Structure 1
C-alpha cells in the first residue's frame, strides 16, 4: 500500500514504479526516455520534411 498525502502523488508513484519494472536502474530509465524523445523529434522532422517536399513538388 502506498501512503501519500493526495491522489496525484500516489498516481505519480505508481507510474514511476510501473516504468521502473522494465529497467534495472533509474539511469537506464532516464536514458531510454531521452532516446525516445530524440526519436520522436526526428520522426516529427522527417514527417514535416516529407510534407514540405510534397508541397514543393506540386508547385
Structure 2
C-alpha cells in the first residue's frame, strides 16, 4: 500500500506488522486526531509486559 505525504516530497510505503514486543516511549500531551504532534522518544523494551495486555492507543 502506498500513500502520499506532502512533507516528505513523495510517496511513502505502508507495511502493516503484527506486534510481538512492547516498547516504552516518551511523548508530550500534544495529540491531534490520535497522532502525536511532536516526535516521541524510545525509552526501552518492556520484557515484563506482553502485547495482549497493552491497550490500544486512545482506548
Q: If the length of structure 2 is used for normalisation, what is the TM-score?
A: 0.21
Q: Which has the higher contact order (CA 8 A, sep 6+)?
A: 2
Higher strand share: 2
Instruction: Specify the structure having the higher radius of gyration (Cα).
Output: 1
